[in-house]
Amino acid sequence: MSLVNYNSRRTPWFNGGVEKWLGNEEIFLDTFFDRKAKLPAMNIKENPIHFEIELAVPGFDKEDIEVSLENDILHIRAEKKNEMEEENENGYTHKEFSYHPLKPKLQIPKSVNQNKEVKSNYKNEVLKLQLTKNEDASKPTKKKIEVV
């Protein structure tokens, strides 16, 4: 099993039947509900020892990022206070830089050892995480199955 985006809100009614009934309108696309728009670009590498995840989180400082691992879900949160000001001491007459919070969740496979430390590094607006696999996960298993 590989790492996958975790979606806690499933929408079974958008399984294609409703779209066919009402026509293929943009309202039924994920982009209409903006589900993926706030997800950062992500690279995932796997080798026999660990998974390495890279997330692009531009505009955030290291202090704005929080990562936790709970019940096979890797929670990543990056949030910065929005700045919307009128006339201040820095000479701005109007300022509205906006930073939308990022809250991706990844369901991790059972092969990840959750008791081992998750290594992390944030450099050049890229967050890198390294999740160690269980020792037995790196060894391919072979099991003979008796046919009856």
Q: Does 120 reside within a domain? A: yes
What is the structure's pLDDT at 56? 93
Sign of CA dihedral 11, 12, 16, 22: negative
In this predicted structure, what is the pLDDT of residue 144? 77
Domain membership of residue 84 (yes or no) is: yes
Domain that holds residue 126: 39-138
What pLDDT is stored for residue 66 in this prediction? 92
Identify any residues that bridge with 43 across adjacent strands, giving them in sequence order: 54
User: 100 in a domain, yes or no?
Assistant: yes
Establish if 15 belongs to a structural domain: no
Domains identified in the chain, total number: 1
- Dmax over CA atoms of the chain, in Å, equals 82
Q: What is the sign, positive or negative, of the torsion defined by CA atoms of 11, 15, 20, 21?
A: negative
The one-digit pLDDT tens for each residue of the chain (148 residues) are: 455 555 555 444 444 444 444 554 444 444 445 554 567 889 999 999 999 999 999 888 999 999 998 888 899 999 887 655 555 666 666 766 667 788 888 898 888 998 888 999 999 999 999 999 988 765 666 777 788 6
pLDDT in the model for residue 136: 74
Residue 21 lies in a domain: no
Residue 82 lies in a domain: yes
Looking at the domain assignment, is residue 18 inside a domain? no
Taking the CA atoms of 109, 112, 114 and 117 in sequence, report the sign of the dihedral they define: negative
The whole-angstrom separation of Cα 26 and Cα 21 is 14
What lies within 8 Å, CB to CB, of 2 at 6+ separation is 44, 46, 109
- pLDDT, residue 143, reads 75
Residue 62 forms part of a structural domain:
yes
Residue 108: predicted pLDDT: 87
pLDDT at 31: 46
Looking up residue 44, the CATH number of its domain turns out to be 2.60.40.790
